[in-house]
Amino acid sequence: MSTGRENDASGQASSGREVPIGRQLAAARTGRNLDIDTVARELKLDAAIIRALEADDRASLPAPIFVQGYLRSYARLLELPVQELLQRYTATTGAPPPLTVTRIERRVPYMQLPSTRLIRNIVLLLLTGIMIWLAYPYAEQLLTSRGQGTTEQEPGHLDLPPAGR
């Protein structure tokens, strides 16, 4: 069973003029017995935006990229052809086409980088070598100065004081 509004819409479409997007949305909403507040609650939008969409009031709507998202959600709710509505909206506003997600293939780098653990170990080894190289003169000086200030006794030899006392 069809209503007069659906016949009017199909008559306009067959005569070459397309039904405005807002009128198509309003007709589909009323055909499903939904009021504006229910649709706004389902889409988590303000009722004023739903009214502006149905009235084709572009001055009350935000940037076209947001309107495309609203139209997409609204068309899904009403089970209307999403791509067709978005293409018609893009054609009437001159806005860029809806954004699509494209898969970027991961390229293999020209040179495989070494692991972080390997780099860390090399850096630690270099730092240890530098520290030993810088400390060597001080260690050598310390070792040579130890023997100069004291008289070392030969092992097994004990100097005793004279026995005459």
For residues 84 and 128, membership in a common domain is answered with no
For residues 53 and 82, membership in a common domain is answered with yes
For the chain, the domain total comes to 2
Farthest-apart Cα atoms in the chain, separation: 144
For residues 27 and 82, membership in a common domain is answered with yes
pLDDT in tens, 51-101: 999 999 988 999 888 998 999 999 999 999 999 998 898 888 876 665 677
What global pTM score does this model have?
0.51
10 band by pLDDT with thresholds 50, 70 and 90: very low
pLDDT of residue 5: 42
Instruction: With a cut of 80, say whether residue 157 has pLDDT above it.
Output: no
Torsion of CA 60, 63, 65, 71, to 10 degrees: 0
For residues 37 and 70, membership in a common domain is answered with yes
Which structural domain range is residue 29 located in?
4-93
For residues 25 and 58, membership in a common domain is answered with yes
